[in-house]
């Protein structure tokens, strides 16, 4: 009997092709919207999270604005930060501008950065050729540098710069390495940058203070403890005045971004679900019309002994068929839309099973929910009244 009901439901849908298509259109739009929006948002937010993670979820950054009495961190402060529990290394940074000269060719306003060996150990694929700054360079304040790809092209075209000497601000430095070419439009571009040991940079830039430091943890699970330790050291260094510096925990920022994106995904899914509700109302409307059109048929079946639950089952199957077909078409449409948009945006395309189950399950639920009332109405028709209505 169930098979017969399924067959009759299917035949009725096929018999009214255009009406059936218009009925499931709301379901198609709703499911396609859920699939496309959630997938696109996940791809975009995943890209943002990945970029944030590449900056270091395992580090705490101290940025110094300075006060009237203290302009930045001292070497003694860096040593104290290195001594904190669960700290695997501290990378101080000094920045400035200067002109560079090689073989009478000059480049003006080049970024000069002071770094240490920790920066190169923690930053992957930074060195193109040659070697990085090491601990001996820091201790001996060696006059050695690594130069960016833009400088190599400008001053050393067709020539290996490693081992060559160049003047920076009138002082001779030996080139020990070159940096990987980076995106020219990025704020983090190193193409026009010279990196030297930070102890050498302190002397070269004529400063005793450090404006920025990255504190790396041996495990990000100790983030809270390390951040508290860093705050204690820096707060003490600035005589308990917190207006001279700021501390940023990258792990906390990534967690906050993940929370915000999860809320956005739920919100967009909820908005798209409104289309499914509208589609469900369309199914209910069609099923009520179908009950009215087939009143005589229902009366005849009941007069021949059909049980009310069999009548109800047939109409319920019909509404579920409509919603499931709409869900499957919407799923395909949503996947295609999401793939095209992700390709245009340059973000990763990843369709999760939970998203598919949510969309298709919701559409099936809509069919049952909005198909129940018309099915119940059909099953409760009195056979004599139904036959008279013809």
Q: What is the pLDDT of residues 32-67, one digit of tens each?
A: 877 887 788 777 776 666 665 555 567 888 888 766
To which H or E segment does residue 364 belong? Answer: helix 353-379
Average pLDDT score over residue span 285-304 = 61
Residue 24: pLDDT band with limits 50, 70, 90: confident
Q: Which tokens is 189 given? A: 């571009």
Contacts 24+ apart (CB under 8 A), 180-186: 180/125, 180/126, 180/127, 180/128, 180/149, 181/128, 181/148, 181/149, 182/148, 182/149, 184/150
Look up tokens 């199957």; give the residue. 317
Q: Is residue 384 over pLDDT 60?
A: no
Asked if the model's pLDDT at residue 173 lies above 90, the reply is: yes
Partners of residue 174 on adjacent β-strands: 144, 165
What are residue 193's phi and psi, to 5 degrees? -125, 145
Q: Kindly tell me if the per-residue pLDDT of 221 is higher than 60.
A: yes
- Higher per-residue pLDDT: 15 or 163: 163
pLDDT score at 186:
47
If we measure between CA atoms, which residue out of 276, 215, 203, 172 comes closest to residue 77?
A: 215
Find the mean pLDDT for residues 75-92: 87
CA distance 20 to 9: 12
Dump pLDDT digits (tens) for 114-150. Answer: 999 999 988 878 899 999 999 999 999 999 999 999 9
The helix/strand/coil state of 114 is: strand
Tell me if residue 166 falls in helix, strand or coil: strand
């Amino acid at each position: 009997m169930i098979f017969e009901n399924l067959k009759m439901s299917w035949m009725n849908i096929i018999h009214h092709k255009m009406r059936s298509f218009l009925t499931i259109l709301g379901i198609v739009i709703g499911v396609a919207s859920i699939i496309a929006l959630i997938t696109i948002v996940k791809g975009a937010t995943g890209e943002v999270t990945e970029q944030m993670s590449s900056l270091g979820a395992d580090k705490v950054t101290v940025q110094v604005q300075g006060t009237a009495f203290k302009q930045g961190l001292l070497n003694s402060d860096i040593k104290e930060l290195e001594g904190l529990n669960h700290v695997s290394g501290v990378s101080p940074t000094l920045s400035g501008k200067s002109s560079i000269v090689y073989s009478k060719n000059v480049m003006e306003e080049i970024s000069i950065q002071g770094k240490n060996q920790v920066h190169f150990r923690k930053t992957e694929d930074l060195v193109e050729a040659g070697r990085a700054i090491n601990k001996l360079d820091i201790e001996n304040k060696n006059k050695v540098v690594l130069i960016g790809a833009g400088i190599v092209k400008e001053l050393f075209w067709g020539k290996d710069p490693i081992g060559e000497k160049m003047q920076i601000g009138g002082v001779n430095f030996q080139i020990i390495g070159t940096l990987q070419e980076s995106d020219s439009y990025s704020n983090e571009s190193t193409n026009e940058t010279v990196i030297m040991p930070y102890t050498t940079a302190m002397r070269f830039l004529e400063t005793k203070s450090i404006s920025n430091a990255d504190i790396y943890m041996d495990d990000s699970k100790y983030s809270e403890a390390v951040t508290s330790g860093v705050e204690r050291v820096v707060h003490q260094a600035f005589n308990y005045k917190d207006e001279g510096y700021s501390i940023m925990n990258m792990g906390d920022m990534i967690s906050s971004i993940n929370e915000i994106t999860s809320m956005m995904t739920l919100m967009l899914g909820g908005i798209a679900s409104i289309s499914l509700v509208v589609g469900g109302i369309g199914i209910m409307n069609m099923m009520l019309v179908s009950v009215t059109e087939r009143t005589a048929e229902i009366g005849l079946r009941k007069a021949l002994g059909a049980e009310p639950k069999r009548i109800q089952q047939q109409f319920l199957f019909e509404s579920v068929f409509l919603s499931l077909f709409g869900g499957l078409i919407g799923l395909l449409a949503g996947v295609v839309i999401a793939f095209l948009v992700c390709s245009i945006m340059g973000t990763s395309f990843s369709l999760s099973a939970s998203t598919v189950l949510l969309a298709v399950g919701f559409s099936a639920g809509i069919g049952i929910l909005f198909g129940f009332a018309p099915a119940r109405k059909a099953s409760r028709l009195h056979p004599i009244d139904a036959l008279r209505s013809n």
